[in-house]
Structures are given as structure tokens and as C-alpha cells.
Amino acid sequence: MSVELISVLIAVVAVGATLAGLILTGQRAIRAELSEQRRELTAQRKEFGERFTSLEQQIAELRERMAHLEGLLDGLREAIAIRQGAA
């Protein structure tokens, strides 16, 4: 083997090793970013779930209050109808 061939083979191996290192480093960074995004997404899902539950409770409370007001209005309507009938 000539010196030129050996130097070219060494250069090719060095370039290959460098590229492999860069690829592995890039993949590690991408994995870390994906992991962080998964954690953030999980936290957001939990927060939205809690907010949704809170909204459901508030809507249920409003329904009860509306039903109470409806009952009061029905009673008022009956009281007015009885007074008009008696008059």
C-alpha cells in the first residue's frame, strides 16, 4: 500500500467518524427536545382537564340557580293568577 492510499483511507475513516458523531449528537438533541415537549404537553393536558372540570361545575351551578329562579317565577305567576281570579 502506498502512503497516498493510506492517507486517503485515514481521511475517509476520520470523516466517517466525524459524521457519525455529528449525527449521534443531533439525534440526542432531538430526543431531548421531544422529551421536553412531551412533558409540556402532559402538563397542558392536565391543566386543560382541570379547567374543563371547573367549567363543568360552574355550568352545573348555573343550571341549579336557573331552575331555582324558574321555580320562583312559576310561583309568582300562580300567585298573580290566583289574585286576579279572586278579584
Q: DSSP code of 2?
A: -
- Burial readout 33-53 (b: 16 or more C-beta within 10 A, e: otherwise): eeeeeeeeeeeeeeeeeeeee
> How confident is the model over 25-64, as pLDDT tens digits?
999 999 999 999 999 999 999 999 999 999 999 999 999 9
> Is pLDDT above 90 for 84?
no
Distance between CA atoms of 72 and 50, rounded to whole angstroms? 33
Q: How confident is the model at residue 81 (pLDDT cuts 50, 70, 90)?
A: confident
In this prediction, residue 54 carries a pLDDT of 98
Residue showing cell 336557573: 66
| Nine cell digits for residue 55 | 367549567
